[in-house]
Structure 1
Amino acid sequence: MLIPIDLPRRWDERPVPAEIRLAITAARQRIETFQDCWDRDAIEQFVAADYEAVYQTLAWVKESQPLPGNRFCEWGCGFAVVACLATELGFDSIGIETEPDLIRQGRDTLADWFDPPALGPELVAGNFLPPGTECLADDPTLPSLGHHSDSAYESLGLDLDDFAVVYSYPWPGENDYHCDVFDARAAVGAIHLQFAGPHDVRVYRKTGTRR
């Protein structure tokens, strides 16, 4: 069962270190350049989140919430900006992405952000949905169900319940499905952080067995 966690008042006024802002700005410029020359369907595009807001939320989670470990996972990491932010905050961070073009862009982000890049998060090509969770979707046309790559968890040697925090930016209509997947497979006490749009960052904790 998931319960929402209320963010504190003025959570979005939390200072973002100057070096983090610079790294976010550089990554955002690369994303804009990539999108300007991109000619594939929108379902396969990458949409940037408000990375400053995500950083502020994740920093608050790290310092104020009890966590069942230190592993962090970014579902559909794209340019891996959030995975990099999690690394900056001290998490053992992993990004999962199914699109080969985006995995390459994510690795370029690591090369720009960390010296050497090995200091950054681990990026894994594959499906972020744990095997068997497709059946939790009420709508078989959800974009997350359209990826037919192998499960990333198998190559990692991990399961979803090995992660303390999982971040996602769901496509429209997928928020509940991402919550259902997390509720079904995450560890008790784990945190699910969703970016749902401008000024809308949501935090949930799994508190017990899914009903």
Structure 2
Amino acid sequence: MTQDAGGDAAAIDARLDAVCAEGWAIWERFDREVREPGFHPFVAADYDVVRAALQRLAARRPARGRFLEWGSASGIITIMADIVGFDACGIELDAKLVETARALAARHGSRARFVAGSFLPTGYRWRARDGDTRKGTIGDGPSGYLQLGHALDDFDVVFGYPWGGEADLMHDVMRQYGNPDALLLLHDTNLGVRAFRGGREVTL
């Protein structure tokens, strides 16, 4: 590694450290002020685990691919994806969290973009194999893709942090609307970040 490359890596690590630190502070405040009085589906991912996965993925992709986070909440993961080299976007149903994410991106010099809306494409209908149409914590709202100016199949990497039972829905959305060559990254509390392409798990 050259000295310049080492310096770039150190600068990236410093930016990621700062974003993660502020992310935990935002989450603690959100948990205290919003989640304790009443339920909200936003739960912070393990930022260190996701960060490591993004850095491994970015190291294998010299070109700046498109990254999308489903349910981007405070924006930490989308901003990290931007910092490590992706053209990163996030869709979040809670408009106040979108404002938080945009402000956070601005403070950290990130080009990550955020829109308020649903990550479900217009017209999508979920039906599990047993016929159940419940979507868990995934709320209803206008689809966010029009605001982004991209359809789901424009993205090379899609990240989601599903609650229990929601992973099947995310796989179904990717199967119907995603690029078959794209990676779907799903963060599992117990298993870390798992990668799928065309519905099959692959090594990240």
Residue 7 of structure 2 is matched in structure 1 by none
Q: CA deviation at 1:108?
A: 2.6
Q: CA deviation at 1:49?
A: 0.4
- The answer on 1:109 being equivalent to 2:104 is yes
Instruction: Provide the C-alpha distance between the structure 1 equivalents of 2:28 and 2:190, rounded to a whole number of angstroms.
Output: 18
- The answer on 1:140 being equivalent to 2:133 is yes
Instruction: Provide the C-alpha distance between the structure 1 equivalents of 2:62 and 2:135, rounded to a whole number of angstroms.
Output: 32
Q: Which has the higher contact order (CA 8 A, sep 6+)?
A: 1
Give the number of equivalent residue pairs. Answer: 187
Task: Give the match's secondary structure for 1:133.
Answer: coil
- The answer on 1:177 being equivalent to 2:177 is no
Residue 48 of structure 1 is matched in structure 2 by 44
Q: CA deviation at 1:129?
A: 0.7
TM-score, scaled relative to structure 1: 0.79
Whether the 8 Å CA contact 1:186–1:206 is kept in 2: the answer is no
Instruction: Provide the C-alpha distance between the structure 2 equivalents of 1:107 and 1:89, rounded to a whole number of angstroms.
Output: 18
Q: CA deviation at 1:41?
A: 3.9
- The answer on 1:151 being equivalent to 2:143 is yes
- The answer on 1:160 being equivalent to 2:152 is yes
RMSD: 2.5
Q: CA deviation at 1:76?
A: 0.5
Whether the 8 Å CA contact 1:165–1:193 is kept in 2: the answer is yes
Residue 121 of structure 2 is matched in structure 1 by 130
1:33-73 CA distance string (max 9 Å, x none): 1210115642x341000111111112212223698x71110
Q: CA deviation at 1:111?
A: 2.9
Q: Structure 2 regions of 5+ residues with no counterpart?
A: 1-9
Q: What percentage of residue pairs aligned between the two structures are identical? A: 32
Instruction: Provide the C-alpha distance between the structure 1 equivalents of 2:61 and 2:185, rounded to a whole number of angstroms.
Output: 12
Whether the 8 Å CA contact 1:189–1:207 is kept in 2: the answer is no
Which of 178, 182, 189 is residue 197 of structure 1 equivalent to? 189
Instruction: Provide the C-alpha distance between the structure 2 equivalents of 1:80 and 1:146, rounded to a whole number of angstroms.
Output: 18
1:2-49 CA distance string (max 9 Å, x none): xxxxxxxxxxxxx9824312320111111111210115642x341000
- The answer on 1:33 being equivalent to 2:24 is no
Amino acid across the alignment from 1:78: A
